[in-house]
């Protein structure tokens, strides 16, 4: 992996001199004769790890750390709590209700698709879905 990374760096340097601009990953991959994914992986492999506790700015007694500059909007405390709540609520449903709620809301299926998959009518899916949702609502009121 390191050998490929160093070949990629040499190719990048060569292409930069020839074209007077930084080459794209695709251009480097073509020059080296490998897939662009391999170039990306090899270059990542030679990067030194960085601590989240490393200061990136320091003004007197106030420091800003890498951790302060990173924000994860996907894994927030609120989302984490919601996921636990949903998981606990799903445990309290019967198997048929779990299947219907899971297919409808987590797999994105329509009531007709769910009905066909589990062998009941769309009206039954609608009734069971509504009943499951009402039971979940009652649990958390």
| Residue-wise pLDDT tens digits, 51-89 | 888 888 777 778 888 877 777 777 777 788 888 888 888
Question: Is the pLDDT at 109 greater than 80, yes or no?
Answer: yes
Instruction: For the domain made up of 2-69, give the CATH fold.
Output: Arc Repressor Mutant, subunit A (1.10.10)
pLDDT, average across residues 28-53: 91
Q: Which of 22, 28, 27 shows the shortest CA–CA distance to 5?
A: 28
Q: Cα separation of 126 and 70, whole Å?
A: 43
Across 11-32, average pLDDT = 94
Closest residue by Cα to residue 36 from 46, 47, 24: 24
Q: Which residue is it, tokens 């994860």?
A: 72
- The residue that leads in pLDDT, 106 or 69, is 106
Distances, alpha carbon 103 to alpha carbons 30, 79, 97, 116, 129, in Å: 44, 20, 10, 12, 10
Q: With 90 as the cut, is the pLDDT of residue 102 above it? A: yes
Looking at per-residue pLDDT, the higher value among 47 and 112 belongs to 112
> Which stretch of 12-26, 29-43, 53-67, 125-139 has the lowest confidence by average pLDDT?
53-67
0.75 surpassed by pTM: no
Half-sphere exposure of 5 (CA within 13 A, CB side): 10
- 45 touches 1 (CB < 8 A): yes
The single residue listed with the structure tokens 């329509």 is 110
Q: 25-32 and 36-45 helices cross at what angle (nearest 10)?
A: 100
């Amino acid at each position: 992996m390191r050998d490929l990374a160093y070949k990629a760096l040499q190719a990048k340097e060569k292409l930069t001199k020839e074209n007077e601009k930084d080459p794209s990953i695709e251009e480097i991959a073509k020059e080296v004769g490998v897939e662009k994914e391999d170039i990306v992986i090899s270059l990542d492999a030679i990067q030194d790890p960085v601590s989240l506790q490393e200061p990136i700015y320091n003004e007197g007694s106030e420091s800003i750390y890498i951790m302060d500059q990173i924000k994860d909007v996907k894994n927030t405390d609120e989302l984490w709590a919601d996921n636990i709540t949903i998981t606990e609520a799903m445990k309290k449903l019967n198997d048929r209700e779990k299947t219907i709620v899971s297919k409808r809301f987590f797999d994105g299926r329509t009531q007709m698709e769910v009905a066909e998959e589990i062998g009941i009518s769309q009206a039954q899916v609608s009734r069971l879905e509504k009943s499951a949702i009402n039971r979940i609502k009652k649990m958390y009121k």
